[in-house]
Amino acid sequence: MPSLFDGASARIEAALEHIDISEDIAQGLAQPDAALKVSVGLRRDDGSFGLFPGYRVRYDSTLGPAKGGIRFHPDVNVDETTTLAFWMTMKCAVMGLPFGGAKGGISVEPKDLSPAEMERLSRAYIDQVADFIGPDTDIPAPDVNTNPRVMGWMADQYRIISRAHRPDVITGKPIEMGGSPGRTTATGDGAFHVLATMMERWEREAAGTTVAVQGFGNAGVRFARLAADAGYTVVAVSDSGGGIYNEDGLDLNAVEKAKAEQGSVTAAEGQQISNDDLLTLDVDILAPAALESVITGDNAGQVRAGVIVEIANGPVASEADQILADNNVIVLPDILANAGGGTVSYFEWVQNRQAWYWDADTVAQRLEARMVEATKRVANRADELGIGHRTAAYVIALEKLDQAARARGTSAFFQGRGNSTG
């Protein structure tokens, strides 16, 4: 069975059918720049001691310092972390951010940790990777099961180690520690801006358009809220405990209340469905907002949604791409639709470095402008080349990386086979 990274690499191959890039970039993207594996020690509240595998991967720094989140999840491993760092490289390039891609995480079940254990583990991770990260080399951010509080602990631990106040080393921090307004909601906001831009391009109305969201976490909740407020009918949502469905639309206030009080959306009123059921509902818009590879070669043929908005990283496995295309399912890819968080992380980094902070409206306006601009670029390239939006996004990303490589001088230039920048 192909690895997650093998699947991600296949998308580069699809893009290369439409463009030529320098040999240097092609070789460089075949493997990460650097990868670190550590053992993260944790003293438990009962006095026992445990070790957890931790990872940090810098995939590519052609466009600038590496940027990417840190996740706490039992399934974190080197293949996943490497793939996520690769996707982040593509994401930053598509969005025109001055960053490369990185990712990190710890293989741990955070639900088993007390708040005090969570803090100690977060600080211990930074103890292990402090020499690997930095505001000019590798800038972490929150991801699955991490949040502003966790980022605050990590930033504080870096301050202790470095004996310097460097808020620009980690983004997604609490506002009080130099975080940016709008960072918590940025991923959901960005995904909605992508959808709204495409709906306008397709001359389709929100009214009467049905939406299903798999993954009712931070990004999924925000996207569902924005969709409902805009007139879409959110008919189904799910979390790790299962899902609920109502063809007439869900009461999102009641769903959020049920999840907050009883731990799962399944406690709210609605028809009980599984996560797998949600993926194959007869809806207009499907938004997978949980983990990678939930739509595979096994179930892609059963997807009935006309549009998939990839809010999660890699929710559609590579072997499902052609099946969806053959069934005329439009995929708004993760390296575009999921880029809101990374974009506002960039804003936070800029604000930290300047010690000049923006208000929430400014952040929101700048995020929307960047998401709309990037979406139009991808859509225009897809139409120009007659290809899907995912391949078009990869084409744009690869061209951006190639331009930066050529500006430095590539093998073709030094061998006398290129122009002044080739």
Task: Report the catalytic residues.
Answer: 103
Token pair 């109305």: residue: 205
Token pair 């490589």: residue: 405
CB 101 within 8 A of CB 85: yes
- Torsion angle, alpha carbons of 292, 298, 299, 302, to 10: 150
CA 106/CA 191 separation, integer angstroms: 26
CA 67/CA 348 separation, integer angstroms: 12
Bridge partners, residue 58, by sequence = 34, 102
- Torsion angle, alpha carbons of 386, 390, 393, 395, to 10: -60
Q: Kindly state the DSSP code that residue 68 receives in the 8-state scheme.
A: E
* H-assigned helices in 64-103: 78-95
* H-assigned helices in 131-266: 148-162, 186-202, 218-229, 252-262
* H-assigned helices in 163-205: 186-202
Write the CB contacts of 112 (distance below 8 Å, at least 6 apart in sequence): none
CA 72/CA 90 separation, integer angstroms: 23
Neighbours of 35 (CB within 10 A): 16
CA 137/CA 327 separation, integer angstroms: 43
- Show the CA angle centred on residue 176, arms to residues 64 and 346, nearest 5°: 20
CB 54 within 8 A of CB 125: yes
Neighbours of 365 (CB within 10 A): 13
Q: Distances from the Cα of 243 to the Cαs of 95, 108, 254, 354, in angstroms?
A: 33, 25, 14, 44
Bridge partners, residue 213, by sequence = 237, 287
Q: 18, exposed or middle or buried, with CB in 10 Å at 0-12, 13-18, 19+?
A: middle
